[in-house]
Amino acid sequence: MIRTLAPTRPLSPALVWSGLGMLVFTACLVGIFARPIGFLSAFWPANALVLGLLVRYPTLARPPAWIAAGLGYVAADLVTGSHWGMALWLNAANLLGATVGWLVLRRLDESILRLRRTVSALYLLLAALAASAVGALAGCGAAPVYFNAPWSDLLSLWFSTELMNYMLIVPVVLALPRADDPPSGHPSAQGASLLWRAAPLGSLLLAEGVRTFVGGPGMLAFVVPGLLWCALSYSTFTACLLSLVVCLWTMAGVATGVLNFTPAHAGDVFSLRVGVTLLALGPLAVACASAARAEALRRLAHAKRHDDLTGVLARRALLKQGERVLAQHQRGCAGAAVMVVDVDHFKQVNDRHGHRAGDRLLIGIAQTIAGTLRGEDLLGRMGGEEFAVVLPGVSPAEAHAMAEHLRKAVEQQAFSVGDDGPRGPHGNTPGGPQNATVSIGLVHSATLGGDADMEVMLLAADTALYRAKAEGRNRVVVG
């Protein structure tokens, strides 16, 4: 029995906007509590979250989203005691920077935005650079007004922190798994032992311990091999999340007791943040390339198993999977059945309407057949206008009823196939929706002794199909 999930009710727009505003408000509070006394925050996640959410969920990118985010920004500053003028100025710059990043990314292909292309990391870097530069330029003028510091120092600190935050947080939001995502992780890691799957994470923890013990100016790069191994072994989301944690820990570890995120250490802070950004860029690029390779392998495997016109199983894949299904079911109490389905008078469709119309008819018939089958049944194209179906766990009577149901479904369906033939005097195409019928040859494993293989059952079903054709077509004949 196939269970279906009950449809979920969409959230109301007001609830979505309120949730976005609360999220921005909370993220701003995190940044404010990480702010040195009298200056900008050492870590400001709000802008990167806004950018990531707007790109990840395009339907969210509406004027109310910007209004809700702006209210969240300003409210966080006001409840923590900031001046009205400073709150409006700085947060307008924050929102402007995130908007520029969204404008850079919004028209890109979804596979790029989901970090499944080798160029994904480059586009993210370009968007982060643009967003950071615009936000910093818009906000740096507040330095002499509210912080008694040169505007150039605020420009440097703002740009570097925004660049780091965008490159660490946005990838995590974009790569967040969805229910319809394919299996994650590198194909070579599937089926590996738990110890081997944990090895990349173990190497990362070991590198952290080594660099804590060794120290020195080169400690920033000690974790690079572990991050790269994780990027090659885990899903893009996991790799980005690990990179976020490691890079923030690295920045905190280097800065503790050494740096203060104020204009007094502007040059050193800029260098540290850019270094951390580049530390995250390498694993991100590797994770994107690994995801692109895994996606290409999945598509190649799908193309090898499926017919390129109708999308059903190809002949070889059907024979291979059907053999396994028959071996599992033909010795059971119910057994299994095989039917061969042939489109009646298909040549006439090609002759009258063209081969493209014939292709459309095959696609429509394949979809109709698939709609009559159960989740465990197998459907494949044997070649030309001939299909085959494997029905596991059915009795002879059930198999015959399913074949008749399939035949009637095709007979009652009007297929929109278009027309490649000559057009009428007014440019219209002759004809309209096409009706079609199929002839079916059916055989059950019980009639062949219970140990017949896929080739034998297909041959018996094919013989029954020839009888259906000879007896007038549009019928089911049992072999």
Residue 298 lies in a domain: yes
Residue 121 lies in a domain: yes
Query: Average pLDDT, stretch 373-389?
Result: 92
Spatial neighbors of 336 by CB under 8 A, at least 6 apart, are 325, 326, 329, 330, 390, 391, 392, 393, 394, 444, 445
Q: Regarding predicted confidence, which is higher, 184 or 147?
A: 147
Q: Tell me if 42 sits within 8 A of 34, measured CB to CB.
A: yes
Tokens read off for 177: 């798994």
Query: What does the mean pLDDT of the chain come to?
Result: 85
Query: Average pLDDT, stretch 135-144?
Result: 90
pLDDT tier for residue 162 given thresholds of 50, 70 and 90 = very high
Q: Are residues 376 and 474 in the same domain?
A: yes
Check residue 10 and give left, alpha or beta (phi > 0: left; psi -120 to 50: alpha): beta
DSSP string, 161-202: HHHHHHHHHHHHHHT---TTPPPPS-GGGTT--HHHHHHHHH
Q: Residue count of the chain, please give it.
A: 479
Q: Are residues 369 and 298 in the same domain?
A: no
DSSP string, 106-148: TTS-HHHHTT-STTHHHHHHHHHHHHHHHHHHHHTTHIIIIIS
Give me the pLDDT at residue 272, please. 83
- Asked if the model's pLDDT at residue 64 lies above 80, the reply is yes
Q: Are residues 283 and 366 in the same domain?
A: no
Kindly tell me the number of DSSP H helices and DSSP E strands found in the chain. Answer: 17, 7
What type of residue is 211?
R
Q: Are residues 264 and 370 in the same domain?
A: no
d(CA 256, CA 239): 26
- Least trusted range by pLDDT, from 91-95, 145-149, 174-178: 145-149
Number of domains in the chain: 2
Residue 309 lies in a domain: no
172-222 pLDDT per residue, tens: 999 999 876 665 555 555 555 778 889 999 998 898 888 777 766 667 788
- Asked if the model's pLDDT at residue 260 lies above 60, the reply is no
Query: Average pLDDT, stretch 354-362?
Result: 89
Q: Are residues 249 and 338 in the same domain?
A: no
d(CA 327, CA 347): 36
pLDDT tier for residue 386 given thresholds of 50, 70 and 90 = very high
114-135 pLDDT per residue, tens: 999 999 999 999 999 999 999 9
Tokens read off for 331: 């010795």
Residue 425 lies in a domain: no
Give me the pLDDT at residue 227, please. 93
Give me the pLDDT at residue 261, please. 55
Distance of CA 383 to the CA centre of its chain: 32
Q: Are residues 191 and 319 in the same domain?
A: no
Query: Average pLDDT, stretch 315-344?
Result: 84
- What percent of the chain lies above the pLDDT cut of 90? 51
- Asked if the model's pLDDT at residue 98 lies above 90, the reply is yes
Give me the pLDDT at residue 50, please. 96
d(CA 388, CA 235): 37
d(CA 127, CA 166): 9
Parallel, antiparallel or unpaired: strands 434-435 and 438-444: unpaired
**Final residue of a domain: which of 283, 304, 325?**
304
Residue 4 lies in a domain: no
Q: Regarding predicted confidence, which is higher, 9 or 462?
A: 462
Residue 157 lies in a domain: yes
SS3 57: coil
Residue 424 lies in a domain: no
Q: Are residues 300 and 264 in the same domain?
A: yes
Q: Are residues 335 and 214 in the same domain?
A: no
Q: Distance from first CA to last CA of the chain, Å, rounded?
A: 28
d(CA 272, CA 261): 11
Query: Average pLDDT, stretch 235-262?
Result: 78
Q: Are residues 209 and 169 in the same domain?
A: yes
Q: Tell me if 403 sits within 8 A of 440, measured CB to CB.
A: yes
Helix axes 63-79, 13-33, angle to 10 degrees: 40
- Asked if the model's pLDDT at residue 3 lies above 50, the reply is no
**Final residue of a domain: which of 304, 333, 356?**
304
Closest CA to 316 of 365, 381, 254, 266: 381
Give me the pLDDT at residue 250, please. 81
- Asked if the model's pLDDT at residue 425 lies above 90, the reply is no
Helix axes 46-56, 63-79, angle to 10 degrees: 160
Give me the pLDDT at residue 231, please. 93
SS3 476: strand
CATH number at residue 401: 3.30.70.270
pLDDT tier for residue 429 given thresholds of 50, 70 and 90 = very low
Tokens read off for 61: 């990118």
Q: Tell me if 358 sits within 8 A of 347, measured CB to CB.
A: no
17-49 pLDDT per residue, tens: 899 999 999 999 988 887 654 455 678 899 999
**Final residue of a domain: which of 304, 323, 350?**
304
Q: Are residues 28 and 61 in the same domain?
A: yes
- Beta strands (DSSP E) in 301-400 are 336-343, 378-383, 386-392
Give me the pLDDT at residue 327, please. 81
Spatial neighbors of 438 by CB under 8 A, at least 6 apart, are 341, 342, 343, 344, 365, 406, 407, 410, 411, 474
Give me the pLDDT at residue 427, please. 38
- Asked if the model's pLDDT at residue 330 lies above 80, the reply is no
Q: Are residues 355 and 447 in the same domain?
A: yes
Q: Are residues 47 and 177 in the same domain?
A: yes
* Residue-number span of the structural domain to which 449 is assigned: 315-418+432-478
Spatial neighbors of 27 by CB under 8 A, at least 6 apart, are 45, 46, 49
Q: Which residue has the tokens 């061969």?
A: 340
Residue 33 lies in a domain: yes
pTM attached to this predicted model:
0.75
